[in-house]
Structure 1
Amino acid sequence: MATLVDNQGWPEIAIEEIADVNPRVDKASIPDDLPVSFVPMPAVGAADGTIHVEETRPASKVKKGFTAFLEGDVLFAKITPCMENGKMAVVPALVNGYGFGSTEFHVLRPKPGMDAKYLYYYVSSQSFRREAERHMTGAVGQRRVPTTYLKECKIPVAPLDQQKRIVAEIEKQFSRLDEAVANLKRVKANLKRYKAAVLKAAVSGRLVETEAELARREGRSYETGGQLLQRILETRRSQWKGKGKYKEPAAPDTTDLPELPEGWVWASLDELSDVVRGGSPRPAGDPRYFGGPVPWITVGPLTADESDYLHRVPEGLTFEGKERSRYIEPDTLLLTNSGATLGVPKISLIGGCINDGVAALLGVGYPLKRYLVNFLRTKTMTLRRINQGAAQPNLNTSIIKAMIVPLPPEAEQHQIVAEVDLRLSLLRETEAQVDANFRRAERMRQSILSRAFSGELINESTFLYTTAAASAI
């Protein structure tokens, strides 16, 4: 039944009265060899109304098992998380006039007197999606918006001429927002490039004045990177408590490496640290080993954010599980070595057990530990391109050990770490402001839609136009 919206007198009408929901298409009339547009779920943008219809398939391949639609229909993703993410769009011109796509789309075909874009903007609004989410049914991960619920949802229906004015005003204001958001994205990209440039400069001797230059100007001697490396090796040798005879770490082959700044030296991670890999208690999920108080450090917590430190983890092992894993002390440098997010370095501020997707670089002190975090961040993408033929990206400890590090004097490391921290701190503040503006833009977008369907948007537009005209007179 239709009800009235107080402020405009617009009736609120069930969607099934103003649009055909999941209408049938006469598939038998479509020649089997006719190319038609094919729209999988990824072809529809999230909360931006974009849709790509360039992909084609023979009609015979999509008549069965796919959702059919026509130009001017509104596609509405019904499954989680696509619905919550706003995968909705108005269908543009299609190849030969027909489209087929994911069975996870509801199709809304506006009836006469209903503007497709008006309907799209209403059902794609955040408030509509949030309410639809509350009415989803099905198992976790497979929850969907029921057809019955969608049919019964009510929409404030303005007269057609006002619908078109509302759509035009929405798109005018969205266009301004889109320009602002595009500028924010450019700023975000520039900040990302700046961060990469800072880290690259830090590990190539171009971020701060080198210790060699400072010592020469001040007329003093200094410990070079080579002397530091020898000190590290002697300390590791003297403190060896492992099984069997101490094995000297492998020195890197520097034949084809570029020249380093004065006072720097090439070193392998094998020389600078004791690289070990974690281990998972077996069988996985055994209640004897999991669900206890010992922090369980996996790839997930290490890649949850872009900070350099790990503060907490959501899971734990029992003390029996601890004996079947590898425990690391607080303040240990870790590196993810498995999955799509491998190559992420982080210093764990907590002690805990690491699983087999994580490597630990033991025996590294300050400031080298912080310097290595900066260095490893410059190598993340390089590490991810390494393919060992496994089902998923994976780094064994031999690859990590063989990584070659440009090692500056320890005094210079202190200066590099301090300068990187300062610059990235300022960068994070700017990023936070940009992210706040992204959120503000989204709030403004939803506010525009809210005002549009209460009639306020075209009233504001009319008022501004009348005022401007009166001023001109």
Structure 2
Amino acid sequence: MNNESRITDIVDFNPPRKLKKGQIAPFIDMAALPTNERDIVEITEKAFTGGAKFRNGDTLFARITPCLENGKTGKVSNLSDEVIGHGSTEFIVMTAKDSEIDEDYVYYLARLPEFRKFAQMRMTGTSGRQRVSWQDLAEFTFAFPEPEKRKAAGVFLKTIDDKIRLNTQTNQTLEQIAQAIYKSWFVDYEPTCAKAAVLAAGGSMAEAETAAMTAISGKTAADLAAPAQNHPARYQQLADLAAAFPAALVPTDDFGEIPEGWEVCTLKECSRKIQNGGTPKRGNAEFWDDGTIPWLSSGEVCNNKILIKSKEFITQSGLDNSSAKLVPSHSTLVAIYASPTAGKCSFCAFESTTNQAVCAVVPKSGYQYFNYFYLQRQEQYYVSQASGSAQQNISKKIVEETPIFQPTKEILSVFNKIIQPIMNKQISNLIENNKLEETRDSLLPKLLNGELKQQA
């Protein structure tokens, strides 16, 4: 094992970068800094007035509570060459002295538990606004391995994060596809509008249904000729779906015009039950220690579109002696406390319990995806319904009485058949990412100090 040396042997902290006051440049906000991922997705543009300055390859390290404790750290990777970006004054920029050897190694060093603990122990300031200085971080010492081992460790860990990024990008694409289908059918009513337009112009019902088929498939009538010949069964399914959409829109009080025959109702009527959660008494170890029942907070609901795990667990005794309730898989969870988070929702892919700041919408058969996509679009509605002097909340009653409409069972069934594999693939990718993160984090300390000789 090598003798320990200062981190400044391989890292420059807050290196000088040229950026003029008032210059418009890429900007990264603290909120965009990830907690357990490498890549920074949200980069905007803003006039430079001060703060951290960085370029591609730099690591951004959050130095203020609670961001430091929460693990906010990211690697800058998607700026144009030679472009300088800027960000929060609460970032510390870490740059490898030798980027060819240590660029990735430095990022993973910033995620090393030993380094993060060192940083937390040196935070100063008033409660709630504590920070660590880069000068204190510069005192960190570590048994750094030889350059070739550092580079190999960075390459291996980068391969894991590259796979995580690919899965994340795939999920973003799948989400966009699912949202586009939902919007077309249930927001813009494109199949119905296409039918209605043809009939209004004097066309036949056959022509109207062909128009609906083009709206559903995204293909022209000419393009549909080939599937009719080569895949008659698939073509017939599309034709049957087009026929199932109404041919006219009718006015309603809550939604303006909706397809004829679809019924306006409340969310409660599309659900088996709607329930709030609860929190077992924190001081009672019997309710928490060695718990195996997942328990979700509203923060987890607000920060994840699809949930595959919980951070905390309660015991059966905790469940039995509190207001916490089991929530079946495929329910939609709605945060109900403290605007602007009130109204945010997520799809829960596993059986769990929640705290009292979450309202669980347990769907009726066939409504698990429809309810979720519908509620994703209701955040502003819930914000408008929030009330309270100390903090703006919504209630279970408001969630229950949320106006919604019911499509026909035939259309809902086809929607589920299309959306289910999309959702299942997203869930599968999230589960794989979770396993990759666990692998990465378990190997990271030994890779960084050179103990693991083989990284393949």
TM-score by length of 2: 0.49
For the pair shown, which has the larger CA radius of gyration, 1 or 2?
1
